[in-house]
Amino acid sequence: MLRQINVIRTFVLYSILLHFIVGCKSVEPVIKLDTTPVIASMDLVNIIEDKVPVELKISNISTDTISYYLPKIVPGTYQNNDYGKYIEQFKAFDKEGNELKVEKLDNNRWKIGNSKSLNKITYLVNDTFDIEETHEVFSATGTNIAQNENFILNLYAFVGYFGNMKEKKYNLFIKHPIDLEASTSLTEYLPKEPLAGAIYDTDVFIFKRYADLADSPIMYSVPDRVTFTINDIEVLLSVYSPNKVHRAAQLMPQMERMIRAQKNFLGYIDTTKKYSVLLYLSSAKSNDAKGFGALEHNTSTVVVLPESIPLKLLNESLTDIVSHEFFHIVTPLNIHSEEIHHFDYNNAKMSKHLWLYEGTVEYFSLLFQINQALITKEEFFERILEKINNSKNFDDTLSFTEMSENILQEHYNENYANVYEKGALISMCIDIIMREKSSGAYGILDLVKGLSGRFGSETPFKDEELLGIIEEISFTEVTDFLNAHVVNNIPIDYGFYLKKVGLIYNTVEVPSGYFIYEQEPFIKGSEATKKVVFTEGVERSNFLRKAGIRKNDILLGINEKKYTIKNIYDLFSDSNKWNVGDDILFIIERNNQILRFNSKVITPTVEKIMLEENPNATSQQIDNLKSWVND
Ligand SMILES: [Zn+2]
């Protein structure tokens, strides 16, 4: 970690400096602003039964009672995680050390009585990695406390806020074992020179407001890290591999190549000066993280992956995950709505524009690879087809803006992952429209840069006004498209857009098995009921569709034979003996009713989407394609 302020050596000096600054400021204004920070302290040395003691000091509360909150939800996640659930032994004290009355109002909120005399609160924080079976908190958004070994500090899970005082400054002191060092994009203030023989050190971080604290993860571990500079960005890669299977130095070449390509792709854009990749490799044992992936922050990302994967696969996973997270520095960092800018951690209002924040970023993480020649044109088309196929697993008639706004509700949340599939395809269509309209001069990257120049990290847009602004800086056709397929719920005809870049998008019938296509079976055994259940694959199979079978139907028997999980494999050998034209009777259970479907055996096929270059494409279509794939 960079220790940038090396001149000041002790906390005593630090407090003098702080008072000096406060003193200077308070001379001039008539109205005295409350500039006293919240002083938060975390103790990573004296862990109590796998829990970190936390203390927050605050003074000058003017109300009789005050609430203290841990976040229910944090930006970048689209579910309620209730970080307050991991807090124990919450206590409040006055200056004399007398305990004040505390009432727990819900999972994330404590009401403190007689708060005019409040001096500090204390509590213990439990971590999420080692109890993942008991909750839904995704690893990269959670916490790890492994004494003397590793700490993943998503700070919002440790430190909360008082009342509506989210704009208050925070000074955070972290006492940590001397061998474990902080990896973070934060600048550490006041490195205290450890005394000879000291077993711990204290790091100090200062935050302008709660949102900055919540957005700044830190990993403490025995350092294994590399830094490199790409144009004006300094990148830190810090790796925790419990069995030393993977090292930062081995992962650096690919990471550097990738981020360099991303920066080249972006061209000039005002972004962060520092970026940290904090990689936690999990043993994947019962008491370790099992949700693999990442959470983006404005200047860093926390990535959790299994330690057991081979280097090549780890590099590939990191390329996919980190390239996506890194592009988040463009949006939402530089382009976001008021809902995100003034994020309410306990009563979050969600923006309508997930298609922009997640969809565009996911599309960029594909597009930059072809733009910078990291993949071939064929591989690029393959990835697009994959997205189209995956998007079919979701509700295609759901308005994206409606889903985005209501993403915390169950029906909408079920479709959330479509922001990485259809969300990316929405951006692809906009890209193609813009290239067609501008004869290849502009694409969606230019639109995004335009928005970033207009707004930037400090100026949010109003959710309702975004489409109007997009029309101003791009083309009417782009807003027409957004209105039809993102605000309204008309499914997208991908063939129509892909034709503009000289591609033929075709659905063809290809041979399959009766109950399987390639590696994808259309049936599965249910462990709970021991019955055979049809999967969503039946919708692709012309044979099963024509027989009247639907997803989630339970297969009881065919002709005279009964099937259960025990003889499920007989289905494949039995059906091999069928002949086209044979009569066939399916006995099905659907909604607790027994149904009988009489049908005839036909040649089984599935629909497969193909994407090919049209040999008869017009010169304009060819030019559009060249501009799209940077050929
Ligand atoms: Zn994302």
The alpha carbon of 199 and the centre of ligand 1 are apart by a number of angstroms equal to: 39
The alpha carbon of 360 and the centre of ligand 1 are apart by a number of angstroms equal to: 9
The alpha carbon of 296 and the centre of ligand 1 are apart by a number of angstroms equal to: 6
The alpha carbon of 385 and the centre of ligand 1 are apart by a number of angstroms equal to: 20
The alpha carbon of 98 and the centre of ligand 1 are apart by a number of angstroms equal to: 46
Question: pTM for this structure?
Answer: 0.83
Q: How far apart are CA 374 and CA 289, in angstroms?
A: 31
Ligand 1 ion: Cβ-proximal residues, 5 Å cutoff: 358
* Dihedral angle over CA of 192, 196, 198, 200, nearest 10: 30
The alpha carbon of 621 and the centre of ligand 1 are apart by a number of angstroms equal to: 32
Q: How far apart are CA 283 and CA 495, in angstroms?
A: 44
Only one residue has tokens 């990257």, namely 445
Tokens encoding 361:
């970023």
CATH of domain 11-221: 2.60.40.3650
pLDDT for residue 193 = 62
The alpha carbon of 421 and the centre of ligand 1 are apart by a number of angstroms equal to: 12
The alpha carbon of 298 and the centre of ligand 1 are apart by a number of angstroms equal to: 12
Q: How far apart are CA 227 and CA 248, in angstroms?
A: 9
The alpha carbon of 19 and the centre of ligand 1 are apart by a number of angstroms equal to: 41
Per-residue pLDDT tens for 254-294?
Answer: 999 999 999 999 998 877 889 999 999 999 898 999 999 99
pLDDT for residue 609 = 86
pLDDT for residue 189 = 79
330-362+371-500+612-631 and 513-603 in the same fold? no
Does 529 score more than 80 pLDDT? yes
Residues facing residue 593 across a β-bridge:
590
Share of the chain above pLDDT 90, in %: 78
Report, as an integer, the average pLDDT of 81-91.
97
The alpha carbon of 76 and the centre of ligand 1 are apart by a number of angstroms equal to: 7
Report, as an integer, the average pLDDT of 306-319.
94
Q: How far apart are CA 363 and CA 350, in angstroms?
A: 21
Q: How far apart are CA 302 and CA 320, in angstroms?
A: 14
Category of 557 on φ-ψ map: left (φ > 0), alpha (ψ -120 to 50) or beta: beta
Of residues 146 and 13, the one with the higher pLDDT is: 146
Q: How far apart are CA 41 and CA 158, in angstroms?
A: 10
Which fold is adopted by the domain 513-603?
A: Pdz3 Domain (2.30.42)
CATH superfamily, domain 330-362+371-500+612-631, is: Neutral Protease Domain 2 (1.10.390.10)
3-class DSSP assignment, residue 426: helix
**Dihedral sign for Cα atoms in the order 23, 25, 28, 34:** negative
The alpha carbon of 118 and the centre of ligand 1 are apart by a number of angstroms equal to: 40
The alpha carbon of 490 and the centre of ligand 1 are apart by a number of angstroms equal to: 25
pLDDT for residue 539 = 83
Residues facing residue 416 across a β-bridge:
none
Residue in 287, 300, 357 with CA at minimum distance from that of residue 326: 300
Cite the beta strand spans of 65-117 per DSSP E: 66-69, 87-94, 99-100, 102-106, 109-112
3-class DSSP assignment, residue 536: helix
Domain spans of the chain, in order of start:
11-221, 224-315, 330-362+371-500+612-631, 513-603
Tokens encoding 556:
């009881």
The alpha carbon of 297 and the centre of ligand 1 are apart by a number of angstroms equal to: 10
Per-residue pLDDT tens for 506-527?
Answer: 888 899 999 998 888 899 988 7
User: Are β-strands 233-240 and 274-282 bridged in parallel, bridged antiparallel, or unpaired?
Assistant: parallel
Q: How far is CA 92 from CA 49, 95, 104, 155, 228, in A?
A: 21, 10, 12, 20, 45
Instruction: Specify whether the CB–CB gap between 154 and 141 falls below 8 A.
Output: yes
Tokens encoding 418:
């479509």
pLDDT for residue 615 = 95
CATH of domain 224-315: 3.30.2010.30
The alpha carbon of 177 and the centre of ligand 1 are apart by a number of angstroms equal to: 33
The alpha carbon of 74 and the centre of ligand 1 are apart by a number of angstroms equal to: 13
The alpha carbon of 493 and the centre of ligand 1 are apart by a number of angstroms equal to: 25
The C-alpha angle 246, 329, 225, rounded to 5 degrees, equals: 25
Tokens encoding 566:
């025990």
Report, as an integer, the average pLDDT of 419-424.
96
Average pLDDT, the chain: 90
Does 210 score more than 90 pLDDT? yes
pLDDT for residue 561 = 92
The alpha carbon of 197 and the centre of ligand 1 are apart by a number of angstroms equal to: 44
Q: How far apart are CA 572 and CA 512, in angstroms?
A: 12
Of residues 41 and 27, the one with the higher pLDDT is: 41
Residue in 193, 196, 122 with CA at minimum distance from that of residue 159: 122
The alpha carbon of 417 and the centre of ligand 1 are apart by a number of angstroms equal to: 10
**Angle between helical axes of 361-371 and 248-266 (0-180°, round to 10):** 90
The alpha carbon of 358 and the centre of ligand 1 are apart by a number of angstroms equal to: 5
The alpha carbon of 420 and the centre of ligand 1 are apart by a number of angstroms equal to: 8
pLDDT for residue 31 = 42
Does 405 score more than 70 pLDDT? yes
DSSP state of 36: P
Confidence of residue 346 (pLDDT cuts 50, 70, 90): very high
pLDDT for residue 382 = 93
pLDDT for residue 34 = 57
| DSSP string for 617-630 | --HHHHHHHHHHHT
Up-side HSE of residue 391: CA atoms within 13 Å toward CB? 24
The alpha carbon of 331 and the centre of ligand 1 are apart by a number of angstroms equal to: 9
Tokens encoding 51:
């829990």
The alpha carbon of 398 and the centre of ligand 1 are apart by a number of angstroms equal to: 20
Q: How far apart are CA 42 and CA 171, in angstroms?
A: 11
Q: How far apart are CA 501 and CA 435, in angstroms?
A: 9
The alpha carbon of 82 and the centre of ligand 1 are apart by a number of angstroms equal to: 21
